[in-house]
């Protein structure tokens, strides 16, 4: 059954703030947002997440400390 009532849509607004960036970086953010079919704000969020993940990956490549090696080699029996 179809009605002639307009669809209700929920508008989700995020709290925002301004960040000063150069024009070239802003243009690149807009280009990436179009490429990823998302907003500039979401593109920034994705970039921040990628940087965090990269930092974690870098930390995982470090040699283990002695206490970490001892913990991993501990006898579970």
The answer to whether residues 44 and 30 touch, using CB atoms and an 8 Å cutoff, is no
pLDDT tens readout for residues 25-74: 999 999 999 999 999 999 999 999 999 999 999 998 889 899 989 999 99
Residue 37: what are its φ and ψ, rounded to 5°? 55, 55
Q: Where are the alpha helices (DSSP H) in 9-74?
A: 23-35, 40-60, 66-72
The confidence score (pLDDT) of residue 14 equals: 66
Q: Is the pLDDT of residue 77 over 90?
A: no
What global pTM score does this model have?
Answer: 0.62
pLDDT on residue 6? 67
């Amino acid at each position: 059954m179809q009605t002639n009532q307009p669809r209700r849509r929920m508008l989700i607004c995020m709290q925002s703030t301004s960040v000063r960036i150069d024009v070239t970086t802003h243009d690149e953010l807009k280009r990436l947002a179009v490429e990823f079919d998302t907003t500039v704000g979401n593109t920034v969020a994705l970039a921040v997440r990628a940087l965090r993940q990269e930092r974690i990956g870098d930390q995982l490549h470090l040699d283990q400390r002695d206490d970490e090696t001892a913990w991993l080699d501990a006898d579970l029996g």
